[in-house]
Chain A
């Protein structure tokens, strides 16, 4: 899903698979069955209420800290790149990287277990030392889009980054 706002600003968003009702009910019923078994063994009703409590807390923690709903990339030419991940509970965590620190946006390959995966990453540079890559920031970690999607995102980013390279020469 992409939205173009102007000549020098693009927003690209990738959506993650939603929380499945099947897996949620499977986990809940497993926990409650185990609690019921313990209750039968120990005759203590606290076990049941503790199990309910644990399930609720666990679900809240999972939704707020673990499950990512959508990841988006906002590229503003001459200002910087902003990476946002929004969680299932509505929380958003954002990182903004200034244009002076961005060297390039590339697609990298990695060998993970038995297959080769592609991921998009931003190469950062130290402003005082433009030749050296100081850090690599991988993008779209949780949504893991496939190569065709990555290529589209890559092309959009490169269009904007090229403007940055041509601009200082013209003015």
Chain B
């Protein structure tokens, strides 16, 4: 079978020595991790390797010899290297030699216990050690579901990636250290570290403890019994701002917890939440500074009352139009007047309420605007809540109209059944035939006729107010969609994909390098990064709200029957 040797590209210029790495026999491939230089004592090398094996649980062993001769071929050295094969018994013993500065190396294997002396073909694959060590291989999403085969058929590539990633401890010492072993690997050119990162790591521990303490205080206050009394708890559940604040608090708790992240996904999630919070707060502060400069918030408060007045006037005009002959339809005069006057009085109440509040609006708005520093999402939620409060009268009208219409429809359907001589059997939940008395039939028919002829009027009012309510709901829904987007976008992962794309790998790609006859095939293995859409899909943060749970047909059915619709239900709310 073909023998594959994975050679780190950083070791191409190393001095002669022996190769250590991992031999994967199922795939007939050797992953070389480092080169040990002369002088060394074989016993110490074996000791060191067994220690490394114990710590990393990767079976590292001596795989072969590496001969980098600057001048002509040195016979003694190559013989010495062959003799080493007898000391470190490994099958097969790989010998790679490089002459001068040529790019083409000769690679041969020595098999002591093989039956057939056939010449094996060797493929030399170069890989960038640092990038492979840092990257995280993402399997394609559909294969992730079949977990029962994972243990046996782990893909070849993930075995290689795992090997390099777990051997981090091997890369701690290099040839400039004074130990018994001198290694060459990717860190031989100097151990990489950054002072800022180290300082931040040291400083983060006390900061985290302080924040945990503060957070436990705040959540203790929130959970206290005082806030759980009925009117207040109802209010909290209706205001979306409180939901958003609770959500963010949860996020903070996740970041600040002292436990180290177990695996890659948890680490990415923590990082995503952290970056998302940071950007949110930064945008919020930006918004706040823009609002408070030139006293824009004062202007906003000043225009709020006239806008509310204008809306109320428009509604009054609408009702006057409905009370007349809207769109040429002829309404029932008496019912029309009753309903119209009722709604007009309601609007009058609303306008007086707004005028009562007007001196305090500016102050309230000023303080509420300060809370935008908690984040842009909080500011958007506040906006959505303000819209809901200002259009409360439209919501009330919708509820009145819907209830009236609903009553009418139910009455009509039950009297229609009476027309046909049937009745709704509550026990058996079905329609049964029933014999009615004459006076029951008479009254039933009268009522049916009355309701039927009053239907167009109520239906029109219902239609108008439902449309208005839907408009408000759509606006609120768009705002919530935006908040959701900001909440769930994995910004850290996207930035990582942009700047250090080798850390999120979807696979590898091979490039064929220059060849020469008689020498082994040379390939370069590079990391194929994940596409942006799969990055977003894999690392999305979960959000608290769910999308409209009714499909379009059930929505239309509810509208037709006059049932109240609550399109934006939050997860965790009990269904009535």
Interface residues in chain A, defined as those with a beta carbon under 8 Å from any beta carbon in chain B: 5-9, 11, 74, 76-79, 82, 84, 94-96, 98, 100-101, 126-129, 167-168, 170-171
Contact = CB atoms under 8 A, between A and B. Distances in A.
Nearest to B522: A5
9 contacts: A6-B521, A7-B121, A74-B510, A76-B123, A78-B1, A78-B2, A79-B125, A96-B510, A101-B155
B149 interface: yes
Given A79-B510, A82-B509, A128-B153, 20 more contacts: A7-B121, A8-B123, A9-B123, A9-B512, A9-B521, A74-B510, A76-B510, A79-B123, A79-B125, A94-B507, A95-B528, A96-B509, A96-B510, A98-B156, A101-B155, A126-B143, A127-B155, A128-B149, A170-B1, A170-B118
Interface in B508-527: 508-510, 512, 515, 521, 523
A167 B4 CA distance: 14
Contacts of B510: 74, 76, 79, 82, 96
A96 B508 contact: yes
B146 interface: yes
Contact of B152 (A9, A98, A128): A128
B435 interface: no
A95 B4 CA distance: 20
Nearest to A9: B521
B512 A74 contact: yes
A162 to B, nearest CB: 14
Nearest to B531: A93
B515 A6 contact: yes
Contacts of A101: 155
A8 to B, nearest CB: 6
B26 to A, nearest CB: 10
Contacts of A7: 121
B499 to A, nearest CB: 18
A159 to B, nearest CB: 14
Contact of A128 (B118, B148, B512, B528): B148
B155 A76 contact: no
B116 interface: yes
Interface string B139-163: 0000100101100110111000000
A156 to B, nearest CB: 15
Contact of B155 (A5, A95, A100): A100
B146 A126 contact: yes
Contacts of B157: 98
Interface string B1-32: 11010000000000000000000000010000
A94 B509 contact: yes
Contacts of A170: 1, 116, 118
A81 to B, nearest CB: 10
Contacts of A100: 153, 155-156
Contacts of B2: 8, 77-78, 167
Contacts of A98: 155-157
Contact of B4 (A78, A82, A96, A129): A78
Interface of B: 1-2, 4, 28, 116, 118, 121, 123, 125, 143, 146, 148-149, 152-153, 155-157, 507-510, 512, 515, 521, 523, 528
Contacts of B149: 126-129
A103 to B, nearest CB: 14
Contacts of B523: 76
Contacts of A82: 509-510
B82 to A, nearest CB: 24
B356 to A, nearest CB: 48
A95 B507 contact: yes
A96 B148 contact: no
Nearest to B153: A127
A96 B526 CA distance: 11
A74 to B, nearest CB: 7
B296 to A, nearest CB: 30
A5 B515 contact: yes
A167 B512 CA distance: 23
A5 B512 contact: yes
Nearest to A3: B512
A32 B507 CA distance: 44
B512 to A, nearest CB: 6
B121 A8 contact: yes
A50 B157 CA distance: 49
A167 B521 contact: no
A133 B309 CA distance: 68
Given A100-B155, A170-B116, A79 B4 contact: yes
A95 B121 CA distance: 25
Contacts of A5: 512, 515, 521
Nearest to B120: A171
Give me the 9 closest cross-chain CB pairs, A-B, nearest first: A128-B149, A127-B153, A94-B509, A78-B2, A6-B521, A167-B1, A96-B507, A171-B1, A96-B508
Contacts of B508: 96
A119 to B, nearest CB: 22
Interface centre among A7, A9, A74, A126 (most CB of B within 10 A): A9
A77 B512 CA distance: 13
A96 B1 CA distance: 21
Given A5-B521, A76-B523, A94-B509, A128 B146 contact: yes
A11 B509 CA distance: 14
Nearest to A127: B153
Nearest to B143: A126
Nearest to A77: B2
Nearest to B157: A98
Contacts of A96: 507-510, 528
Nearest to A171: B1
A126 B146 CA distance: 9
Nearest to B114: A171
Contacts of B148: 128
Contacts of A171: 1, 116
A17 to B, nearest CB: 26
B113 to A, nearest CB: 13
B154 to A, nearest CB: 9
A144 B249 CA distance: 55
Contacts of B146: 126, 128
Contacts of B153: 100, 127-128
Contacts of A76: 123, 510, 523
